[in-house]
Amino acid sequence: MKILFIGDIFASPGRRIVAEHLQQIISDEHIDLAIANAENSAGGFGVTPNVAQELFSFGLDVLTTGNHVWDKREVYDYLNREPRLLRPGNYAASLPGTGLYMGKARNGVQYAVMNLQGRVHLPPIECPFRKADELLASIPADVKVKFLDFHAEVTSEKIALGWYLDGRITGMVGTHTHIPTADARILPKGTAYQTDCGMTGPYDSVIGVEKDTVIQRFLTQLPMRFEAAKNMVELRAVIITLDETTGRATEIKPYAIIEE
C-alpha cells in the first residue's frame, strides 16, 4: 500500500500544480491514499470551503492544516460539516473541527489520518505528545495504517515526536517551515519519518511570499501587505510504502515536480 503526502499547498500556484499532476502521480505511483496540507491554499493564508472542495475534486482524500486554519472565518462551520478537512487536534475541543479522520483507502484498507501542531514558537495549545496518545487510543485496533501531519516550527520538537511515536504509527511527516528536509527515513520500529515535506507552491519567494516585500519587512520592521509569489512553482511530497497487515512502513521517498 502507498500513501502520498503533499506538503503545504500555497495559494493558486500550489493548487494549479496539484491539479495538473495529481492524477498522473496517483496512476504512475499506484497511490492508495492521497493527503495534502491545505492551510495556505487560499491566497497563502488559510483555507476556504470553496478551495477545500476544489482540492478534494482533484482527487485528494484528506486535507490537513495548521496554525493558519483559523485565518478565514468562513471555514469554521465547514470544519464541522466536512470531516475530511482536519485542524490540529491539540487545539481546544470546543473549537470547530477535529484532528482525526478515519476512512477506507482506494484498495479498501482502513486508515486513520491525524493532525497535530507544535508548541515551540507557536500559539500555546495542548501538548501534542499527550494528544497523540489520546488520538491513538481512540483508533480501533484493527486500523493498522496511521499517518500524522505534525505542523511545527522547530526541528527538535518534530524529531522528538517522531521518536516518541516510532512503531505506533505508519508515518509522520512535518509541515509548516515550507523547506524540504533531507532526512526521510524509516525509524527502527517501522515508522516513516521526514522533518518537513516542503511547500507546494512558488519557490521564487520567501516561503511562498513575494521576496522583496519580506526583505523590506526585515529591513524596516514596518508592517507590509504580504502577497503570494507566482514563479518557480514546485510540488513537494513524500510517498510512503507500507505493509497494510501490520501498518509498518517499508519505504519513504521524497517526491518532487519542479517546473522550469
Which positions are annotated as active-site residues?
68
C-alpha cell at 133: 496518545
